[in-house]
Amino acid sequence: MKKLFILINLPVGLLLYSSCQKQVTTDPKPVPPSCKVASAYYYASPNGIYDSATFVYNGDKLAKAESDLKLITYTYNGANISSRTYFDKLANSVSFVDSAEYDASNRLKKLTVWYYPGRFSDVTKQYIYNFSYKGNNYDKITSIIKNTSNSSTPDTLQNIFQIDAVGNTQSIVTLDKEGNIYDSVHYSYDSNPNYFKKIDNNFFLFDANFQMQGSYLHHLPYSISTNNVTSFSYFANTNYQVNYLLDSLKNVTAVNVNGSPYATYSYNCHQ
């Protein structure tokens, strides 16, 4: 009987030991909070806040961004924003509509923008942007601008992207139909992962108010580059410094240009 007792109890001891070991090694790791932009304020130095946005979601997808001035609504194709409509509350009319098309790799291949008479244009205009790639990076974007109020020949511009080895846009050089340099903008970067990609892979479509540099395409590096823009200059002349403030979760909460506020963001986070 003594031998039988030992044989029976030995596996029980092993089971208890094994159970304790398993409990220690399978404790779940803390899950980082998931955050969405809840609101934003936009500044026009030195005049202070000129607009704001409250972001409303349908599940994980942005449904609308709204303020006292505008209502922007979004539609999706899969996980990608496929259209964006800007309704001007003051004029009680649609100011512009963006339509985006993607390739099989979910890369933006065409963006069509209709501007209607009002806040952003005095006549109806159509802008078409055709995207070309070298590998996974933008290589060239062809801009075609049509004024639908007359039969003039559309303006066509070639926007050449210079991308470095880590995936940052170093410059965008714009050429007119004759091959003359129409515009040129240059960028510098930090070494931190892109803050805006955390919000949306195509942040320039997500936030219609993020128009720091005037030209539609000049905002792309903030969304598409590996790291974060820290300065930009036109024709390598005057340098504009860009810096960011972050919360404890590395979400960008403020964007400043030459020390003045440009945009601030707040977030809703949950486990």
Proportion of the chain above pLDDT 70, given as a percent: 86
In a domain? residue 1: no
Q: What is the mean pLDDT of the chain?
A: 88
User: Residue 83 belongs to a domain with what CATH number?
Assistant: 2.40.160.150
What predicted TM-score, i.e. pTM, was given to this entire model? Answer: 0.84
In a domain? residue 185: yes
What would the pLDDT profile of 101-146 be if each residue is shown by its tens digit? 999 999 999 999 999 998 888 899 999 999 999 988 999 999 999 8
In a domain? residue 210: yes
In a domain? residue 239: yes
The domain of 260 spans 33-270
In a domain? residue 11: no
Number of domains in the chain: 1
User: Residue 260 contacts by C-beta under 8 Å, 6 or more apart in sequence?
Assistant: 43, 45, 46
In a domain? residue 77: yes
Q: Looking at beta carbons, which pairs linking 190-195 to residues 24 or more positions away fall under 8 Å? A: 190/227, 190/228, 190/230, 191/227, 192/227, 192/228, 193/226, 193/227, 194/223, 194/225, 194/226, 194/227, 194/228, 195/228, 195/244, 195/246, 195/250, 195/251, 195/252
In a domain? residue 228: yes
Instruction: Encode the chain (271 residues) as per-residue pLDDT tens digits.
Output: 444 333 334 344 433 344 444 444 455 565 667 999 999 999 997 779 999 999 999 999 999 999 999 999 999 999 999 999 999 999 999 999 999 999 999 999 999 999 999 888 889 999 999 999 998 899 999 999 988 777 667 889 999 999 999 999 999 999 998 999 999 999 999 999 999 999 998 999 999 999 887 677 899 999 999 999 999 999 878 899 999 999 999 999 999 999 999 999 999 998 7
In a domain? residue 221: yes
